[in-house]
Amino acid sequence: MIIKNSKFIRLPRFSGDLILKKAMLREGNAGIELTCQLKGGPDQSGQVLLLIEDRDKKYKLFSWLLKQQGKDIETIYNSDFDFR
């Protein structure tokens, strides 16, 4: 599934041509915080929320996002992702 089309994941909206700088896992029911950076500009942060409570899926998504660091956010949002 294309990650931005998932009905289980709510992605933050960012503006500009951004690179994923950092992904941080938030404890409890909180999501995954993404920090992106515009080339030559300030950082922007936002939270990825899973709309289902499944710790394993949250960790799989977090692990996948860690591997995406350094890529542009639009490419990541249009990437294929599977919870399996």
The Cα–Cα gap between 61 and 16 comes to 23
* Structural domain contains residue 8: yes
pLDDT given for residue 66 in this prediction: 96
* Structural domain contains residue 84: no
Per-residue model confidence as pLDDT tens digits over 57-76? 888 999 999 999 999 999 99
pLDDT tier at 13 (50, 70, 90 boundaries)? confident
Say what percent of the chain tops pLDDT 70.
96
* Structural domain contains residue 72: yes
Structural domain boundaries, residue 57: 3-77
* Structural domain contains residue 59: yes
| pTM confidence score | 0.87
Per-residue model confidence as pLDDT tens digits over 39-55? 778 899 998 988 878 88
Domain count, the chain: 1
